[in-house]
């Protein structure tokens, strides 16, 4: 695949149904090509429906609760030879019931792997708002957590540096926010802003 595509590319995880599928539809209707992923072959049915909206769709069947699943998605993104213009890291699960009494430990660990570990592996560049300051800072607890969970420290810090530059240099055009940071998330949710938004 070459780089001559004029349409932007969006990556959506957990895109076979529900919120992920609806996000993919919004991207398709707004001129994006798609790379979508989910577990199971239901992703192919979703891809067929999305293609009917006039967009090019590629699929990756991968379990993002596993290290290899995230790597598979990453390699497929690289194989497109295209920049990623938007990414919705949507894949996630819930476990209902009283912890340790009504739930299975295996299910709880799978929840952590998918909802937390894979998200950090796939794209989370920062967790604390002051990491985007010109003189970055982070709480000791969150710094330690990111250090424990990161897969590629060099890549994560490089991405963080690029985002910091974007945040500091283009404050009139772009608003960078982290949905893990309660203050930034609330400020984003409360503001109706015309700026482009980058969720990290």
CA trace torsion 42, 33, 89, 189 (10° rounding): -120
Tell me: do 107 and 18 sit in the same domain: yes
Q: Are residues 165 and 100 in the same domain?
A: no
Q: What is the CATH number of the domain that holds 52?
A: 3.40.50.720
pLDDT tens sequence across 92-101 = 555 677 776 7
Alpha helix ranges (H) inside 35-181: 42-51, 67-79, 105-112, 118-122, 140-149, 153-169
Task: Give the model confidence (pLDDT) of 32-42 as tens digits.
Answer: 999 999 888 88
Residue 87's contacts (CB-CB under 8 Å, 6 or more residues apart) are 10, 11, 12, 123
Name the helix (H) or strand (E) containing 20.
Answer: helix 18-29
Last residue of a domain, one of 89, 105, 123: 123
Domain boundary among 76, 93, 123: 123
- Domain hosting 159: range is 128-200
126 neighbors 145 (Cβ within 8 angstroms): no
Report the SS3 class of residue 57: strand
pLDDT beyond 90 at 65: no
Which run of H or of E encompasses 184?
helix 182-190
User: What is the sign, positive or negative, of the torsion defined by CA atoms of 136, 197, 82, 44?
Assistant: positive
The whole-model pTM stands at 0.56
**What average pLDDT does the structure give for the chain?**
77
Residues 103 and 72 both lie in one domain: yes
Same domain, 110 and 80: yes
**Packing angle, helices 42-51 and 18-29, rounded to 10:** 20
Residue 2 vs residue 156, higher pLDDT: 156
Quick one: which H or E segment has residue 174? strand 174-177
pLDDT at residue 114 tops 90: no
Q: Looking at the structure, do residues 183 and 90 belong to the same domain, yes or no?
A: no
Look at the chain and report how many structural domains it folds into. Answer: 2
């Amino acid at each position: 695949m070459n780089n001559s595509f004029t349409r932007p590319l969006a990556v959506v995880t957990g895109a076979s149904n529900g919120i992920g599928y609806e996000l993919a539809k919004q991207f398709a209707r707004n001129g994006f090509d798609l790379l979508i992923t989910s577990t199971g072959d239901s992703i192919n049915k979703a891809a067929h429906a999305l293609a009917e909206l006039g967009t090019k769709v590629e699929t990756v069947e991968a379990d993002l609760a596993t290290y290899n699943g995230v790597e598979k998605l990453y390699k497929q993104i690289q194989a497109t030879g295209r920049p990623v213009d938007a990414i919705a890291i949507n894949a996630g699960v819930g476990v209902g019931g009283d912890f340790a009494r009504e739930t299975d430990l295996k299910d709880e660990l799978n929840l952590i792997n998918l909802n937390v570990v894979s998200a950090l592996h796939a794209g989370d560049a920062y967790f604390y708002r002051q990491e985007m300051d010109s003189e970055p800072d982070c709480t000791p607890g969150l710094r330690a957590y990111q250090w424990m969970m990161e897969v590629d420290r060099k890549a994560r810090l490089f991405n963080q540096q690029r985002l910091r530059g974007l945040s500091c240099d283009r404050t009139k055009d772009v608003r960078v926010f982290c949905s893990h940071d309660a203050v930034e998330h609330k400020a984003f949710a409360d503001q109706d802003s015309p700026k482009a938004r980058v969720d990290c």
